[in-house]
Amino acid sequence: MNLTKIKSIAATKRITLKQVAVDAGITPTRLSRIIKLNTTSPRVLERIARALDVPVTVFHEEDVEEETKEVAAVTNDQNQAIYQSNLELENRILKEHLRRIEAINERLLKIIENGDKK
């Protein structure tokens, strides 16, 4: 949550913080403390948002962005792990196929050698 946005939104809308506080039904001192401590109840936050004529989600946008980045990082790590696991599995399968091909080649060579002796 970023309640310092209250100041910038009020300034953009040319509303004093005192007027925001009055419209939100709180004292200017309380509004100042809310901004400084970056915390308040959901109910008061809704009233402040209404006083500024903005959606309450405006104050949570950075939280969502940060969570999105964290999820993306975790997803990337998981994708890397899956990719690595797939590479290891493919490597084992290819080694097994190579072993079988070599065994078939040895049998074919023996057949060819035995055929030449007859």
Q: Are residues 89 and 104 in the same domain?
A: yes
CA dist list (Å): 10 to 13, 61, 80: 5, 17, 45
Mean pLDDT in residue range 61-90: 79
Q: Are residues 77 and 118 in the same domain?
A: yes
pLDDT tens per residue, range 86-116: 999 999 999 999 999 999 999 999 988 887 6
How is residue 6 written in tokens?
Answer: 């209250």
**94 or 64, which is more confident:** 94
Give this prediction's pTM: 0.53
Q: Are residues 68 and 49 in the same domain?
A: no
How is residue 57 written in tokens?
Answer: 């989600």
Please tell me the predicted confidence (pLDDT) of residue 23. 96
CATH number at residue 15: 1.10.260.40
3-state helix, strand, coil in the chain (%, to 5): 85, 0, 15
Count of the separate structural domains present in the chain:
2
Q: Are residues 103 and 86 in the same domain?
A: yes
Q: Are residues 90 and 114 in the same domain?
A: yes
Which residues constitute the domain of residue 92? 61-118
